Chains A and B, each alone.
Chain A
Amino acid sequence: MIKEMIMNKWLLTNTRLIMSTELISKAGSGVMAPELVMNAILMGCMLFLALLVIVAVIRSILGPGITDRLISVNMIGTMVIAAIAILSIFLKEDYLVDVCLVYAMVSFLTVVVLAKVYTGNYMKKKEICDEDDVVQSGLRRQEALEVSRRREKKKGKEEK
């Protein structure tokens, strides 16, 4: 029974794929059932989104700063959400829309958390650097003070 079920499912998806590809091949031969055309459009949209995601991935690798990378990752999230929504309509599986909602939430949370964490770490590092500067300048001032004291002592001895 399970084999039959899986076979049916497989056939269903595959026939849809086959139908849409056949439709693309004989677009001019007068087959204009709206569902088939729509399937072709959905398929084309998903392929197009996949292409754009690849471009965005390249941007996220090249991006010079962390902000550019985050922007392109956020963009990839949006495109993947659109692709999942299209897929759920294409396969007529309603549960994939739930995945969409969760993905939207997670991609928003990613940006917020990463921005917060990075800003916090940056500020801390900056403070540590500033503290180092303060300490070093203080040390330099102390050294200068000691040198001047020694000179004064020497001068006092010489005067005696």
Chain B
Amino acid sequence: MDVVKMIAAGSCLIIGMVFFLLCTFGVNRFKRSLNRIHAAAVGDTLGLLFTMAGLIIWRGFSFTSLKLLAVVVFFWLASPVAAHMLARLEVETHEDLGEIEVDRR
């Protein structure tokens, strides 16, 4: 039983790490800020979800794992808003966005 738990938790953790790697790579690879927001949001949602899922599987169900779940729920609510604010900041302060068409209202 422990071995199954270990394999599930470990694979979840490693998938989460892969997502974090992807998000760091994307932020360094893309050239425009709006693209970078897209890359960073991957780590905020999927990376944190898989990491926390692995930890919850390993820890078993308790008050601590409930708190870990609360972190994920909070991030899933907050991270899109943060990305939205960043995109808004970029659009409002950057005059020259290239060929991207922006509906300024």
User: Could you list which residues of chain A lie within 8 angstroms of chain B, going by C-beta atoms?
Assistant: 34-35, 37-38, 41-42, 45, 48-49, 52, 55-56, 59, 65-68, 70-72, 74-75, 78-79, 81-82, 85-86, 88-89, 94, 97-98, 100-101, 104-105, 108, 111-112, 115-116, 118-119, 122-123
Whether B93 contacts A82 by the Cβ 8 Å rule is no
Contacts of B64 in A (CB 8 A): 88, 94, 97
Whether A45 contacts B13 by the Cβ 8 Å rule is yes
Q: In the complex, A68→B16 CA distance in Å? A: 23
Contacts of B63 in A (CB 8 A): 94
Whether A72 contacts B27 by the Cβ 8 Å rule is yes
Whether A119 contacts B92 by the Cβ 8 Å rule is yes
A/B interface sample: 26 pairs, CB < 8 A: A34-B5, A42-B13, A48-B20, A48-B21, A55-B28, A56-B27, A59-B27, A67-B86, A71-B40, A72-B27, A72-B40, A74-B40, A74-B82, A75-B23, A75-B24, A75-B44, A81-B75, A82-B47, A97-B64, A97-B68, A100-B68, A101-B71, A105-B74, A108-B78, A111-B85, A115-B85
- Across chains A and B, which 4 residue pairs bring their CB atoms closest together, nearest first? A34-B6, A108-B78, A67-B33, A115-B85
Output the nearest chain A residue to B82 by Cβ-Cβ distance: A111
Whether A68 contacts B20 by the Cβ 8 Å rule is no
Output the nearest chain B residue to A70 by Cβ-Cβ distance: B86
**Is the interface on chain B under 10, 10 to 19, 20 to 34, or 35 or more residues?**
35 or more
Whether A104 contacts B75 by the Cβ 8 Å rule is yes
Whether B6 contacts A37 by the Cβ 8 Å rule is yes
Whether A115 contacts B86 by the Cβ 8 Å rule is yes
Grouping DSSP codes into helix (H, G, I), strand (E, B) and loop, the A interface class, with mixed when no group exceeds half, is: helix
**B25–chain A nearest beta-carbon distance, Å:** 9
Q: In the complex, A72→B20 CA distance in Å? A: 12
Whether B71 contacts A79 by the Cβ 8 Å rule is no
Q: In the complex, A52→B21 CA distance in Å? A: 7
The contact string, 1 if C-beta is below 8 Å from chain A, for chain B 13-53, is 11011001101100110000100110010011001100110
Q: A108-B81, A115-B86 are in contact. List 16 more A-B contacts (CB 8 A).
A: A38-B10, A49-B17, A52-B21, A55-B28, A67-B33, A71-B33, A72-B40, A74-B82, A75-B44, A78-B47, A78-B75, A82-B16, A88-B64, A94-B64, A101-B67, A112-B81
